[in-house]
């Protein structure tokens, strides 16, 4: 059975290292992009099973990335989780409204990360396509 592929899109090297480490412990092949544009390209070219993206990044932010992935038939079904340090509901609600499957608060707690990634992957497999009519 092939490893599940995860894409981490984050501008903080510290967060990248932590998330990569925990995902690798869970058996994922981990790809990394340090900005939204690079993440979009990797998502289209390497088709990850799950993506974890920072909410706020310079250039293309995580929410623009999510919107573009959801609008593209090639990437619309990728499970997407958003990382944010914001504890208020505004950014978390916005992330879900634009198409993220879930959000994770920073700092990342390993068991929560693993559980949320597994849940998002499960939900993405039963996702019902949105009818745009």
Pairing of strands 50-54, 102-105: unpaired
pLDDT band for position 127 (50/70/90)? low
pLDDT tens for each residue of 19-68: 999 999 999 999 999 999 999 999 999 999 999 999 988 889 999 999 99
């Amino acid at each position: 059975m092939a490893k599940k592929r995860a894409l981490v899109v984050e501008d903080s090297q510290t967060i990248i290292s932590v998330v990569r480490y925990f995902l690798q412990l869970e058996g994922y092949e981990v790809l990394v992009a340090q900005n939204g544009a690079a993440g979009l390209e990797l998502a289209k070219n390497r088709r990850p099973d799950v993506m974890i993206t920072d909410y706020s990044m310079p250039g293309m932010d995580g929410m623009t990335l999510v919107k573009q992935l959801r609008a593209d038939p090639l990437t619309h079904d990728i499970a997407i989780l958003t990382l944010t340090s914001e504890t208020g509901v505004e950014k978390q609600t916005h992330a879900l409204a634009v198409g993220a499957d879930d959000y994770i608060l920073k700092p990342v707690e390993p068991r929560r990360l693993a559980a949320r990634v597994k849940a998002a992957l499960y939900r993405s497999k039963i996702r019902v396509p949105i009818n745009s009519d």
